[in-house]
Amino acid sequence: MLRFNIITLFPQLVETHLKELPFKKALEKGAIDVQITNLRDFAIDKHGTVDDKPYGGGTGMLLRIEPIHKALDTIENKERIILLSPKGERFTQEKAKELAKCENITFISGRYEGIDARVEDYTTDIISIGDYVLSGGELPLLVIMESITRILPGILEKEDAATKESFEEGYLEYPQYTRPEEYDNKKVPEILLSGNHAEIEKWKKENSQKI
């Protein structure tokens, strides 16, 4: 079983997605376990403070290091601790397959203008899902979680689906079509209607490489 530990200020943003596939099925089968820690539970005062102004000035507020460190201390297995950040390593399918071999992954989700840089010293990975800015790390961690979860054994309806899709061999997936054969003067390629499986496979490979 793979356990995901999530440290966030907004547990509800994560909990909603856990009710849907592939998370729902993975949880039911015991393939994954998800533990969500509300960072507000480790606030530095009775007012629930978890952020502060940055030294040297700047726009917005940063999450403080103390609440995050205290939240991490409650997690026993710290096999992989991932901080979501635009400056991190770009997430790929290869990274998903690497992480799927783990037993315990912890995500630190930022908010506001960022996180005290010293938090990086407590992580094993800093990961980005792209060169753009979001309001927090909840969506990126869900992207990573889903890409990992769906390749775990027994999660996809068709067992070979995870090995026959985009990026598995370094290529994007070939174009795919369904009925009707023609719509608005746009036709399905004749080769796909031919029944010649060898030629169809050749077409798929050529178009995957082309893309």
* Ramachandran class of 167: left when φ > 0, alpha when ψ lies in -120 to 50, beta otherwise: left
Q: Are residues 24 and 111 in the same domain?
A: yes
Q: Are residues 95 and 199 in the same domain?
A: no
Question: What domain range includes position 182?
Answer: 171-210
Measured distance between the N- and C-terminal CA atoms of the chain, rounded to whole angstroms? 36
Whether 116 is covered by a domain: the verdict is yes
Q: Are residues 56 and 125 in the same domain?
A: yes
Would you say the pTM of this structure is higher than 0.85? yes
Q: Which residues contact 116 (CB under 8 A, 6 or more apart)?
A: 62, 63, 64, 65, 68
Please report, in tens digits, the pLDDT of each residue of the chain (211 residues total): 999 999 999 999 999 999 999 999 999 999 999 999 999 999 999 999 999 999 999 889 999 999 999 999 999 999 999 999 989 999 999 999 999 999 999 999 999 889 999 999 999 999 999 999 899 999 999 999 999 999 999 999 765 555 555 555 668 889 999 999 999 999 999 999 999 999 999 999 999 999 8
Number of domains present in the structure of the chain = 2
Q: Are residues 108 and 203 in the same domain?
A: no
Q: Are residues 196 and 104 in the same domain?
A: no
CA–CA distance, 194 with 180 (Å, rounded to integer)? 15
Whether 180 is covered by a domain: the verdict is yes
Q: Are residues 68 and 131 in the same domain?
A: yes
CATH code of the domain in which 194 resides: 1.10.1270.20
Q: Are residues 116 and 201 in the same domain?
A: no
Strands 104-108 and 2-8, bridge-based pairing: parallel
Whether 164 is covered by a domain: the verdict is no
Q: Which residues contact 146 (CB under 8 A, 6 or more apart)?
A: 17, 22, 23
